[in-house]
Amino acid sequence: MRRTEQRRAAVFALYQADLTGRPAPELLAPNATAFTRELVEGVLGERDRLDELVERHATGWSLDRIAPLERSILRVALHELRGRPDVPAEVSIDEAVEAAKELCSAQAPGFVNGILGAVHRGEVASH
């Protein structure tokens, strides 16, 4: 299974958890890969920090104004940017933008790209 599909599985589990209140790990398919499970667990483990980054860089937008699916896409990508040195930043950002193009509103890809780019530039500058 390609990593694109594994990321999408993580995004959907997190999205469904947001909407239903059920634990995201329970929403994963029984055959979910270790990579998908790590993304979900990683996002859950640092969700407050990820949400803080989104709010800081989403100028004029509070977290609750961002569509749940976009929030999940952003969280997965930010977790990868911050916690997966084996995944190039460009890949995480591109995958998130592509997911937003396919799954969200017409404005979502630019919004997702802007936030992830700003976070990445800020993270790189601080190291």
| Residue 107 DSSP class | T
Q: With bands split at pLDDT 50, 70 and 90, how would you rate the model's confidence at 83?
A: very high
Average pLDDT across the chain, whole number: 94
The Cα–Cα gap between 88 and 86 comes to 6
Q: What is the pLDDT of residue 127?
A: 46
- Residue pair 76/95 in contact (Cβ under 8 Å)? The answer is no
Residue numbers of the domain that contains 78: 3-125
Whether residue 119 has pLDDT greater than 60: yes
Q: What is the pLDDT of residue 125?
A: 58
Q: With bands split at pLDDT 50, 70 and 90, how would you rate the model's confidence at 112?
A: very high
Tell me the backbone φ, ψ of residue 90, rounded to 5 degrees: -60, -35
Q: What is the pLDDT of residue 1?
A: 87
Whether residue 91 has pLDDT greater than 90: yes
Whether residue 124 has pLDDT greater than 70: no
Torsion of the alpha carbons at 115, 117, 118 and 124, rounded to the nearest 10: 140
How many structural domains is the chain composed of?
Answer: 1
What is the pLDDT averaged over residues 56-65?
A: 90
The Cα–Cα gap between 75 and 79 comes to 6
Closest C-alpha among 37, 35, 42 to residue 3? 35
Q: Worst-scoring range by mean pLDDT, 60-64, 69-73, 117-121? A: 60-64
Percentage of the chain exceeding pLDDT 90: 91
Residue 52's contacts (CB-CB under 8 Å, 6 or more residues apart) are none
Burial 68-104 (b: 16+ CB within 10 A, else e): ebbbbbbbbbbbbbbbbeebebebbbebbbbbbeebb
CATH number at residue 105: 1.10.940.10
